[in-house]
Amino acid sequence: MMEPEISRKSNVKNAEQALRESESKWRQLAETAPDIIISIGPDEKIQFINRSVSSMATNEVIGRNAVDFVPPDQAAILKKALKKIFQEGVATEYEILSRDSGQGSNWYHSRIAPVIIDGRVVSATLIARDITERKRMEVELREARDLLEQKVQERTAEIQKTLSLLEATLESTADGVMVMDLNRRVIQCNKTFLQMWPEGMANTYEASDGHRALKIASALMLNPDEVIQRTEAIYANPAQKSADLLKLKDGRIIERVSNPQILNGEIIGRVWNYRDITLQLRAEAERDRLLEHEHHERIEAEKSVQSRDDFLAMASHELRTPLTPLKMYLDWFKREARKIQPDLLPKAKNLLKALDFTDREINRLIQLTDDLLDVTRISAGRLILNREPMNLVELVSQVRDEKFDELARKQCSLIINKDGPVNGVWDYNRIEQVFACLLSNAMKYGAGKPIEVTVDNTHDKAFLKVTDKGPGILEEDREKIFQRFERAASIKNYDGLGLGLYISKEIINAHGGTITVESEIGKGSTFTVSLPI
């Protein structure tokens, strides 16, 4: 009886020893395994763990509820898996996010299987593999894919926009445009191009048959063989640029320009540009005709002007010739008339008045002829200046003295503003002529009102200003009055040929100076002469 009992105890002891050894080996194997191995009891508490999955030590984890180590939204997954294990004994797999307050959260691919002893599930073994890096890579890959899709969509939208813009540009251009590949297939052409040709030919282009289209098109030309020859020569040299004219039998002339189509440095086809220049050439021909006509008319006008100037020059000389002796005799007659005693000739005073009036009219006629002579000299470019040192202030005083009687007749007082001599090298007679013209105009248009003359200078310029209190000059007339035979006032109200200011400007320009006018309607005008010193 003792021997069987001893044998049984020995067997139990050996079995326990073997179990302990087996468990020891299993633990060693579990502790060296790369995956996390957890044994969970039916109460969901951790019985064994081969390594820590949190900041807690393994001995602190054992005895804790396994659900405590997953986020709340993941807890239901683990609970469902454990329930399936302990109730149905069925293994399951899932992915779960484990939380770790110290190190963050990690993703695990978990397989949980039942441990069955004597047909009863005594525990569950959970093998979890850290797939955090894989999940990170999946997220990055997904983000990269989403970003790539976004960029593809954006790029596609840009390409569509560009294509739409190109198509709109192609259709809106006034030129006909056609694109062919190197095999003469029509890749693209706009409506303008198709509208240039008969309907049958347009259908040929739309069918992409460039060879046949060339034969049909050449038949419409005045020189078909030459057009075909030029086109073939262009295609024989793909890199060549070309430009020629197509003369059609219907009278149209089309400008044709061709350039190679290049993509990534390689020639892939040709772009042809067609422009109907028939109307343009007609317009240019009409323009040339009008220009020729205008040139002829201008020559005739110049001849007429020259004839007029020649006539004026001749007439001026012819008028001036008798005026000179007439003036001399009149001056002698006035001197002799002043010697007559009133008692000898009661009307001697009236005679002197008549002689003075005649003298003024002769002087005016002399001035008019001199103006006409000056105009002919200016037109011929023969206005000669005799420059000499002079004092502008002395010139103004001398002209004032000469115009004393005329100022009295016009009832104009003359105010001269000067600070001292203003010296320069100018043509005395011509500058005197300019000032006399300005002063005469001031008396003519500002009769009965004062006239102000200012002589001044800077380090390089001299200034002569004449200000009247006349009616003023309209702004649109201020440039016109310096032209030949132009005047701001009506000839009915004021005499003269309208040459004085024109001649004055030419004289001042010849000196390298300027003459300008400032005016205000109803208040008068100021003419300013500027001369280089």
Q: Which of 182-186, 349-353, 407-411 has the highest mean pLDDT?
A: 407-411
The C-alpha atoms of residue 166 and residue 273 are separated, in whole angstroms, by 15
The predicted-structure confidence for 376-396, as pLDDT tens digits, reads as follows 888 778 888 999 999 999 999
Question: Over 80: is that where the pLDDT of 8 sits?
Answer: no
The residue among 306 and 296 whose pLDDT is bigger is: 296
Rounded to 5°, the CA angle 520-526-529 comes to 145
Question: Over 70: is that where the pLDDT of 104 sits?
Answer: no
Confidence of residue 5 (pLDDT cuts 50, 70, 90): low
Question: Over 80: is that where the pLDDT of 105 sits?
Answer: no
Question: Over 60: is that where the pLDDT of 35 sits?
Answer: yes
Lowest mean pLDDT among 76-80, 273-277, 305-309, 498-502: 305-309
Question: Over 60: is that where the pLDDT of 1 sits?
Answer: no
How high is the pLDDT of residue 32?
Answer: 66
H/E/C letters for each residue in 255-284? Answer: EEEEEEEEECCEEEEEEEEEEECHHHHHHH
How high is the pLDDT of residue 319?
Answer: 67
Q: Which residues pair with 9 in a beta bridge?
A: none
The residue among 453 and 13 whose pLDDT is bigger is: 453
The predicted-structure confidence for 234-287, as pLDDT tens digits, reads as follows 999 999 999 999 999 999 999 999 999 999 999 999 999 999 999 999 999 999
Question: Over 90: is that where the pLDDT of 307 sits?
Answer: no
The predicted-structure confidence for 140-156, as pLDDT tens digits, reads as follows 999 999 999 999 999 98
- The model carries a pTM of 0.43
Confidence of residue 171 (pLDDT cuts 50, 70, 90): confident
Question: Collapsing DSSP states into helix, strand and coil, what is residue 253?
Answer: strand
Where do runs of H (alpha helix) occur along 37-176? 58-61, 72-88, 132-172
Question: Over 90: is that where the pLDDT of 434 sits?
Answer: yes
**Closest to 453 measured CA to CA, from 366, 347, 526:** 526
Question: Over 60: is that where the pLDDT of 102 sits?
Answer: no
Question: Collapsing DSSP states into helix, strand and coil, what is residue 94?
Answer: strand
Residue 422 · residue 462 · CB < 8 Å: yes
The predicted-structure confidence for 467-502, as pLDDT tens digits, reads as follows 999 999 999 999 999 988 776 655 555 666 778 899
Q: What is the mean pLDDT of residues 306-323?
A: 70
Residue 515 · residue 529 · CB < 8 Å: yes
Percent of the chain with pLDDT over 70: 86
The radius of gyration computed from the CA coordinates of the chain, to the nearest angstrom, equals: 58
Considering only the C-alpha atoms of the chain, give the largest distance between any 2 of them, rounded to a whole number of Å: 209
Q: Which residues pair with 389 in a beta bridge?
A: 425
How high is the pLDDT of residue 526?
Answer: 97
Q: In the structure encoding, which two tokens stand for residue 403, read together?
A: 């115009």
How high is the pLDDT of residue 366?
Answer: 80
Q: Which of 102-106, 161-165, 295-299, 355-359 has the highest mean pLDDT?
A: 295-299
Torsion 287-289-292-296 (CA) sign: negative
Q: What is the mean pLDDT of residues 116-128?
A: 90
Amino acid identity, position 338: R
The residue among 276 and 334 whose pLDDT is bigger is: 276
Lowest mean pLDDT among 1-5, 286-290, 374-378: 1-5
Percent of the chain with pLDDT over 90: 47
Confidence of residue 203 (pLDDT cuts 50, 70, 90): low
Q: What is the mean pLDDT of residues 21-50?
A: 79
Please state, rounded to an integer, the average pLDDT across all residues of the chain.
85
